[in-house]
Amino acid sequence: MARARSEEKLAIEGGRPVRRTFLPYGHQSIDEEDIQAVVRVLQSDWITTGPKVVEFEEAFTGRVDAKHAVAFSSGTAALHGAAYAAGLQPGDEAITTPMTFCATANCILYQGATPVFADVTADTLNINPEDVASRITEKTKAIIPVDYAGHPADLDPIRELAEERNLIVIEDACHALGAGYKGKQVGGICDMTVFSFHPVKHITTGEGGMVTTDDADMAARLRLFRNHGIEGDARQRQAKGQWYYEMVDLGYNYRLTDIGCALGQSQLKKLDQNLSRRREIAACYNAALKDIHGIILPTVKKEALPAWHLYPIRFDQSSFRAGRTEIFAALRAENIGVNVHYIPVHTHPFYQKRFGYHGNEYPVAQAAYETLISLPMFHGMTDQDAENVIDATEKVFGHYA
């Protein structure tokens, strides 16, 4: 297909945009089957804490090859639940990456523990196991790697470190539902794995999350935590004709509704086709953009099967006469909804004030952040949408070359 030429006037300078309408970086896909699944729940006796929760959890375990799955009201709630189940408490430390959404580190703080960051590798931008090893102390209790953009972290060396030091590994796979690592499904590899069902993810429940584990005791702690620290739930008590319950620990109301679980169960049936479409789009981007001088495409390691939640590109600043701010604005003016993932967690004002970070402590993550731009990536994109993204990318980067 014809490509937009770099000689064309940029939309930000008064030229015609590549697209007439705005294309977001991510978007949910809801069909009639999904809608009817929700309608049936709305017409039933239970719209929360009912049978759909268990059905969704059981279906999910089969999809990710884990023994237990515990649904939560959001990915953040799921991370918090995992930190609780891992036993994090004041005085403990947990090591994670700065190249993530703040919820990954915040869940450590929620338990009164201290987040310790380790830098990332320059290729995948996943946490660097060697840097993790250098930051383990007698206070370390857990390691929380993130599968950045849907590419699994280097899990084997991380798990080896954890086994040597008796640590728990919580894999933040909120980007990586359907991803694979060395032939295994993400979800059954680490002590606990956390997923998100936000609308921009591979499947959605509106808001929602899940923790998977093979450990029955951890699963029990997760269920307790999401329900105020109360053993059992209202549906179980009704089935037994009982009213009595006991709160045995301090938990939260992190329950996912039957409405959300019905949607999630319907969406889960479409996961394979959603993943396939994302991989098609990634392959299209790879083929079209690989020859643009100065653009750095996402790395895929041979042992990984990415889920492509994001398609983050970077660029060599010396190759262009504009920085990220100008390039980002120019792409947006072409109606391409680029985004940036992520502002490194330690550079947020809260973390700087709380822990004294200045922003240059993790040089690989910081350098990557300064040139990162996420191109639109979601399974509802058409071939024409992908072509528009490619045309706009060539047009803008060609203009500033």
How are strands ordered across the β-sheet holding 93-96?
68-72, 209-213, 192-196, 168-172, 140-144, 93-96, 114-117
177, 307 Cβ separation under 8 angstroms: yes
| Rounded distance between C-alpha atoms, residue 132 and residue 94, angstroms | 10
In 175-262, which ranges are E strands? Answer: 180-181, 184-185, 192-196, 209-213
69: part of which helix (H) or strand (E)?
Answer: strand 68-72
Using CA atoms, how far residue 240 sits from 5, 31, 215, 228, 246, in Å, is 70, 37, 27, 20, 15
| Rounded distance between C-alpha atoms, residue 47 and residue 52, angstroms | 9
One of 9, 52, 139, 201 is an active-site residue; which one? Answer: 201
- To the query of whether residue 290 is one of the catalytic residues in this protein, the response is no
| Rounded distance between C-alpha atoms, residue 291 and residue 316, angstroms | 14
Classify residue 336 by its DSSP letter.
B
| Rounded distance between C-alpha atoms, residue 199 and residue 186, angstroms | 20
Reply yes or no: is the peptide bond before residue 254 cis, omega within 30 of 0. Answer: no
Question: Which residue shows structure tokens 């994090």?
Answer: 88
Residue 336, beta-bridge partner list? 23
- Catalogue the active-site residues: 201
